[in-house]
């Protein structure tokens, strides 16, 4: 009996020793969490902006708050994977980061889930808050207060290669007045400049929110219902069965059926956006694409994979037109990213202090210099350094007046993924009617019959 | 035949450490009557083998060539400029060293737990007759049948509730639990082949159950336990889905998750580095397998390891 | 009873571990499948009990029957047919082959299986990608490039799984054939039987149980294959290679519907359990557990 105990305790000791070792192996073990501020953000080869300011402000913050450690948790994933990872992390109070870098599209869903902290009392006392434009503040607004401090906003435009357009015999500067003129230009390029992909508009789930924001929304908000095409802004009801929705799908169907775009297989690669900005456009293999205002950033960044000093001369910008040219003539989807505090954070005061550093004027300029997004701060907008971030800044600034924002409700992300699925079906050969019907069913399923409205 | 079926449950060979010797006998017997006697059938046999060889080696060649190629692509080609640069680029704490260390922790601790628990559980099952044995073994066998990847959704949700998300220990315990049924099964079969006569003598001398197990049975089944350990090690080292879902902090993630992020982030640009990282990550298990093969015989590991 | 507990206490740690980390998730899957718990939004904190609604949803969701069908195709073609037959063929041929060639072949086949699944997935991704080796080979024969992963996603993942998994069947069969009594085969040859007759009348009867076992195990393993498909096609394009595990992953973690994902997990568990029962039955018939 006694000997058995000896063996047993030996076993227990070894086991607990290995367990302890295991704990040490993962450096950021739980016992140190009291004085650790965890910061969760995305970092990829194409997006290092947040990492740059986080590294810098970590040093500043740790100096100002002795004994507090800032633990940076950069997630190396493309956008849609980053969002999944963030949701996974937020669900559990053990892993919920204190400071979160987040797309505003999921703000309300996360508020409803109880993941985010209402920052109203912090921003009220914050001197800098008045520097944020009212539109910008909306980016971080939930149903009952502010849940995020916006750091950037963005719009979408058509980026086109002037040289290819000229070669195809299209006059530049070019500005289409309606959808047909886009099609005409693309067809002309296909005919006159063989070997060049005429255009790109994202489809499918691989690009995630990029498909909704950089492609479908530009179309949808330019149809008959305008700003109410996705959901009725007053009642919050989701629109189903609308002509605008199926027309938007039909437009995508046309460009895919006529092979005016990259192969659908390339479109379903999550890295297609990077490929277009760093390869296809600089190498003159694509004539135009609809993409975000941050595009030039990779071209002006020295030493980046997509560095392209001639971009200013080659590339032109056009606003995306409404379907038939109806008022106000153009559309763009505007979004933005926030920095939020987890509702589960044990040290929200410290977290907000860190957010103040991250979103300060200087830090914002540094962030935007690397990311190429547009500012949400008045003082930054007036700063010469901001205006000179890249040579396109001025042209781009016209698009914001046509901005449409995404509905800030919890269902948005789910409905957005239904849009992505519908476009994926289009590119794989399903008819627009069928894809629209499946979308309608899914929306009714998600939002409930009484939260949808049928429009013609 | 009954011998085979007795042990054939999961994998004939695993439970037959001696089969390696049998096989050597068989291959020494090259020109036996069952060998292809006619030129035609021999030609056919070798043609098939060579074809299979080509089909299987070609996809692998890319890994070896691209890893040392300065301008690697997805094509399989002899590098124009050989380089070790792909390796030196990825050899840093964040990308490789820490993840590899984390992998080692996960794999070794999980294996240690599995082997300990499997030996303990297998002993009474192997040595005592009881109505308890059959249902237990059937349950264990049934457990090996459950598709563990399908459980990731409930596991994630369960771990959230019990605060085990991002916990290395939680990950280890889940990995251990999912390989335990197979390990108990294998260990019991090995233990069955250890004769009881020696233990009986020890019992007569008043040794306890644990003493006989630790001092007599375990030493006699070392090769078998080594085989089980390697089976568990390979499974845990190679597991991607479990740590991918459960471990959130980059500092805790093992090599499988790190290499996957690398693939997602740079894989479509840095082909050579991806191949180099793949080789590094595969090396420990491949070497371990080769070593065990050498020591334990050709078939010691046949079967059992989930693909 | 005292005697029993004295003898069987060593099984307790294993039982606890399995109960907590295997049975726990299984029970949780059933529980979760009856709720609308989601990854984010109001249902993340306060899920409702919705009865069998997730299951009725399965039957109206066109993605589900498609996913079942793709899983069946994947398992049947890659495992039951290809891995199984190729493994058996290799085992038979290797038994009699020249030592050097045999070594080279078996080492290569086994190597594809020994490397971590993720690495074989990368290798296959590279092999089938547009700029990859497969198209390079086609080019040599003057054939056109094909976007394998896009145009033929199922064929690509099936071929990849054959490449990765054949070693398992091969080794099982090699071991079983190694046990065949050579005096029997030699006697048959003396009686004038040809190779095929020897194989069909002597080898197959002896390895019958191995065949059944092997098919069962590779079916179960292949059914739950995730990493290979996840890396190569992520279930796409669209839903063209979305087998059940990928479907469950997407539903639960991409679209945030954990309750529905749990329902899919339950379906897979039930399928696995059915196979498990058949498997154990077949073992019983063969007196597989007769060593007590």
DSSP string, C84-136: HHHHHHHHHHHHHS-HHHHHHHHHHHHHHHHS-HHHHHHHHHHHHSTTSHHHH
Question: What are the angstrom distances between the C-alpha of C100 and each of A294, B44, B74, C183?
Answer: 59, 17, 31, 26
Q: Pick from A3, A18, A25 the residue to mutate for testing the B interface (most B CBs within 10 Å).
A: A25
The single residue listed with the structure tokens 């038994």 is C95
- Position B54 in a domain: no
Cβ–Cβ gap C42/A80 under 8 Å:
no
- The DSSP line for C208-250 is HHHHHHHHHHHHHHHHT--HHHHHHTTT-STTTT--HHHHHHI
- Position B303 in a domain: no
Quick check: helix, strand or coil at residue A289? strand
Cβ–Cβ gap C119/B153 under 8 Å:
no
Rounded Cα distance between C128 and B72, Å, is 16
Average pLDDT for B220-247: 90
Give the number of domains in chain B.
1
Q: What local confidence, expressed as pLDDT, does residue C76 receive?
A: 95
Q: What local confidence, expressed as pLDDT, does residue B267 receive?
A: 57
Q: A349, exposed or middle or buried, with CB in 10 Å at 0-12, 13-18, 19+?
A: exposed
Ranges of beta strands (E only) in A347-421 are: 403-405
B144 pLDDT more than 50: yes
Q: Give the minimum alpha-carbon distance from B6 to chain A in angstroms, rounded to a whole number.
A: 33
- Position B61 in a domain: no
Give pLDDT tens digits for B6-57.
233 334 333 333 333 344 344 333 344 444 455 677 888 889 999 999 999 9
Q: How many CB pairs under 8 A join A and C?
A: 73
- In this structure, of A78-92, B250-264, C51-65, C142-156, the range with the lowest mean pLDDT score is A78-92
Interface confidence, given as ipTM, is: 0.89
The single residue listed with the structure tokens 């507090």 is A68
- Whole-number average pLDDT of chain A: 87
Partner A contacted by C44 (CB < 8 A): yes
Q: Pick from C39, C50, C131, C248 the residue to mutate for testing the A interface (most A CBs within 10 Å).
A: C39
B102 pLDDT more than 90: yes
Q: What local confidence, expressed as pLDDT, does residue B127 receive?
A: 87
Domain residues for B110?
87-296
Cβ–Cβ gap A76/B264 under 8 Å:
yes
Strand partners, A152: A337
Rounded Cα distance between B35 and C137, Å, is 34
Among partner residues C130, C236, C256, which is closest to A268 by beta-carbon distance?
C236
- Whole-number average pLDDT of chain B: 81
| Residues of C whose CB is below 8 A from A206 | 234, 236
Cβ–Cβ gap B113/C289 under 8 Å:
no
Contact predicate A89/A95, CB 8 Å: yes
In degrees and rounded to multiples of 5, residue B230 shows phi and psi of -65, -35
Question: What are the angstrom distances between the C-alpha of A282 and each of A275, A301, B5, B75?
Answer: 10, 14, 66, 24
Q: Has domain C66-254 been given CATH number 1.10.3720.10?
A: yes
Partner C contacted by B299 (CB < 8 A): yes
Give pLDDT tens digits for C3-21.
777 788 899 999 999 999 9
Closest CA to A114 of A338, A344, A339: A344
All structural domains of chain C with their residue ranges:
66-254
- Position B23 in a domain: no
Domains of chain A: 33-154+334-405 (3.40.190.10), 156-333+408-454 (3.40.190.10)
Q: What is the dihedral of CA C229, C234, C239, C240, to 10 degrees?
A: -50
- In this structure, of A164-173, A238-247, A442-451, C38-47, the range with the lowest mean pLDDT score is C38-47
User: Which sign, positive or negative, has the C-alpha torsion B30, B36, B40, B43?
Assistant: negative
Cβ–Cβ gap C39/A91 under 8 Å:
yes
- For residue C275, the chain B residue with the least C-alpha distance is B145
Run of H or E including C264: helix C258-285
Query: How many contiguous H segments (helices) and E segments (strands) does chain A have?
Result: 22, 15
Q: Report the DSSP pairing between strands A156-161 and A286-292.
A: antiparallel
- Position B28 in a domain: no
Among partner residues C15, C89, C172, which is closest to B12 by beta-carbon distance?
C172
CATH number, residue B266: 1.10.3720.10
Cβ–Cβ gap A76/B116 under 8 Å:
no
| Residues of B whose CB is below 8 A from C36 | none
Average pLDDT for A32-60: 85
The single residue listed with the structure tokens 């194409």 is A46
Tokens of C30: 């059933």
- In this structure, of B189-193, C127-131, C279-283, C288-292, the range with the lowest mean pLDDT score is C288-292
A431 pLDDT more than 50: yes
Distance from the first to the final alpha carbon of chain B: 28
Cβ neighbors of C100 (< 8 A, separation 6 or more) are none
Please indicate whether residue C288 or residue B97 has the higher confidence score (pLDDT).
Answer: B97
Strand partners, A69: A36
Tokens of A174: 């070019």
Cβ–Cβ gap C237/A204 under 8 Å:
yes
Q: What local confidence, expressed as pLDDT, does residue A131 receive?
A: 92
Cβ–Cβ gap B154/C222 under 8 Å:
no
Closest CA to A220 of A200, A205, A240: A240
């Amino acid at each position: 009996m006694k000997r058995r105990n000896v063996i047993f305790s030996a076993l227990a000791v070894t086991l607990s020793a290995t367990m302890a070792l295991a704990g040490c192996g993962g450096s950021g073990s739980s016992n140190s969490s009291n004085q650790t501020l965890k910061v969760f953000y995305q970092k990829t080869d194409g997006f290092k902006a947040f990492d740059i300011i986080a590294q810098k402000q970590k040093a500043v913050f740790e100096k100002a708050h002795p004994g507090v450690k800032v633990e940076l948790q950069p997630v190396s994933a493309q956008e849609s994977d980053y969002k999944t990872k963030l949701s996974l992390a937020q669900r559990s109070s053990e892993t919920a980061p204190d400071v979160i870098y987040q797309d505003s599209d999921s703000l309300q869903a996360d508020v409803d889930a109880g993941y985010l902290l209402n920052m109203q009392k912090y921003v009220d006392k914050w001197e800098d808050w008045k520097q944020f434009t009212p539109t910008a503040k909306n980016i971080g607004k939930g149903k009952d207060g502010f849940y995020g401090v916006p750091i950037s906003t963005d719009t979408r435009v058509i980026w086109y290669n002037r040289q290819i357009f000229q070669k195809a015999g299209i006059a530049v500067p070019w500005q289409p007045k309606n959808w047909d003129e886009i099609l005409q230009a693309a067809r002309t390029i296909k005919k006159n400049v063989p070997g060049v992909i005429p255009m790109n508009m994202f489809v499918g789930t691989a690009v995630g929110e990029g498909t909704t924001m950089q492609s479908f929304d530009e179309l949808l908000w330019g149809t008959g219902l305008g700003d109410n095409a996705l959901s009725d802004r007053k009642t919050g009801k989701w629109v189903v069965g609308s002509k605008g929705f199926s027309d938007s799908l039909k437009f995508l169907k046309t460009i895919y059926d006529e092979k005016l775009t990259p192969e659908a297989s390339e479109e379903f690669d999550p890295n297609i956006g990077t490929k277009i900005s760093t390869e296809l456009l600089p190498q003159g293999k694509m004539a135009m694409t609809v993409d975000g205002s941050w595009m030039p950033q990779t071209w002006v960044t020295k030493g980046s994979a997509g560095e392209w000093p001639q971009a200013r001369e080659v590339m032109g910008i056009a606003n995306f037109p409404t379907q038939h040219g109806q008022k106000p003539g153009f559309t763009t989807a505007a979004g933005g990213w926030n920095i939020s505090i987890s509702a589960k954070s044990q040290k929200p005061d410290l977290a907000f202090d860190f957010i103040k550093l991250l979103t300060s004027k200087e830090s914002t300029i540094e962030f935007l210099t690397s990311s190429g997004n547009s500012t949400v701060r008045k003082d930054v907008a007036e700063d010469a350094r901001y205006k000179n971030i890249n040579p396109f800044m001025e042209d781009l600034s016209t698009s914001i007046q046509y901005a449409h924002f995404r509905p800030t409700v919890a269902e948005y992300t789910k409905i957005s993924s239904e849009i992505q699925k519908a476009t994926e079906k289009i590119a794989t050969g399903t008819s627009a009617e069928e894809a629209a019907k499946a979308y309608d069913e899914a929306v009714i399923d998600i939002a409930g019959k009484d939260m949808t409205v049928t429009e013609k | 035949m009954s011998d085979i079926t007795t042990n054939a449950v999961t994998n004939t060979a695993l439970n037959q450490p001696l089969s390696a010797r049998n096989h050597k006998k068989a291959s020494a017997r090259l020109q036996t009557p069952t060998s292809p006697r006619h030129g035609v059938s021999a030609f056919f046999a070798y043609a098939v083998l060579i074809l299979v060889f080509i089909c299987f080696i070609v996809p692998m060649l890319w890994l070896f060539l691209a890893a040392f190629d300065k301008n690697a692509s997805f094509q399989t080609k002899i590098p124009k400029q050989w380089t070790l640069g792909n390796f030196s680029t990825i050899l840093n704490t964040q990308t490789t060293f820490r993840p590899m260390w984390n992998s080692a922790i996960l794999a070794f601790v999980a294996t240690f737990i599995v082997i300990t628990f499997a030996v303990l559980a297998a002993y009474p099952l192997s040595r005592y007759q009881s109505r308890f044995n059959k249902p237990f073994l059937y349950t264990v066998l049934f457990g090996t049948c459950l598709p563990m990847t399908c459980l990731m959704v409930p596991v994630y949700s369960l771990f959230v509730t019990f605060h085990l998300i991002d916990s290395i220990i939680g990950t280890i315990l889940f990995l251990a639990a999912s390989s335990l049924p197979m390990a108990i099964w294998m260990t019991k079969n090995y233990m069955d082949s250890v004769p009881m006569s020696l233990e009986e003598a020890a019992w007569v001398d008043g040794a306890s159950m644990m003493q006989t197990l630790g001092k007599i049975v375990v030493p006699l089944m070392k090769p078998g336990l080594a085989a089980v350990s390697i089976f568990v090690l390979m499974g845990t080292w190679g597991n991607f889905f479990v740590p991918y879902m459960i471990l959130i902090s980059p500092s805790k993630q093992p090599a499988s998750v790190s290499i996957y992020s690398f693939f997602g982030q740079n894989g479509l640009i840095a082909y050579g580095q991806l191949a180099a990282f793949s080789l590094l990550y595969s090396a420990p298990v491949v070497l371990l397998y080769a070593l065990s093969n050498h020591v334990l015989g050709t078939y010691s590991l046949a079967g059992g390891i989930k693909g | 009873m005292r005697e029993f507990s004295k003898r069987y206490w060593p099984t307790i740690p294993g039982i606890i571990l399995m109960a907590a980390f295997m049975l726990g998730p299984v029970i949780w899957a059933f529980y979760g499948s009856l709720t609308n718990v989601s990854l984010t939004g109001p249902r993340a904190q306060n899920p409702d009990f919705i009865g069998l609604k997730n299951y009725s949803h399965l039957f109206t969701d066109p993605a589900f029957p498609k996913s079942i069908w793709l899983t069946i195709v994947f398992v049947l073609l890659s495992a039951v047919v290809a891995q199984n037959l190729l493994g058996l063929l290799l085992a038979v041929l290797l038994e009699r082959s020249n030592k050097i060639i045999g070594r080279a072949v078996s080492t290569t086949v086994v190597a594809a299986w020994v490397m971590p699944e993720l690495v074989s997935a990368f290798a296959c991704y590279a092999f089938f990608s547009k700029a990859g080796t497969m198209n390079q080979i086609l080019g040599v024969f003057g054939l056109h490039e094909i976007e394998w992963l896009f145009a033929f996603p199922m064929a690509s993942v099936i071929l990849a799984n054959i490449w990765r998994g054949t070693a398992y069947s091969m080794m099982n069969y090699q071991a079983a054939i190694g046990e065949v009594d050579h005096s029997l085969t030699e006697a048959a040859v003396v009686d004038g039987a040809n190779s095929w007759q020897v194989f069909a009348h002597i080898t197959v009867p002896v390895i019958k149980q191995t065949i059944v076992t092997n098919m069962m195990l590779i079916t179960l393993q292949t059914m739950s294959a995730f990493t290979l498909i996840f890396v190569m096609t992520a279930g796409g394009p669209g839903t063209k290679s979305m087998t059940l595990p990928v479907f469950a992953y997407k539903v639960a973690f991409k679209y945030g519907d954990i309750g529905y994902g749990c329902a899919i997990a339950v379906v897979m568990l039930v399928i696995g359990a059915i196979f498990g029962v058949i498997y154990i039955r077949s073992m019983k018939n063969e007196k597989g557990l007769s060593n007590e």
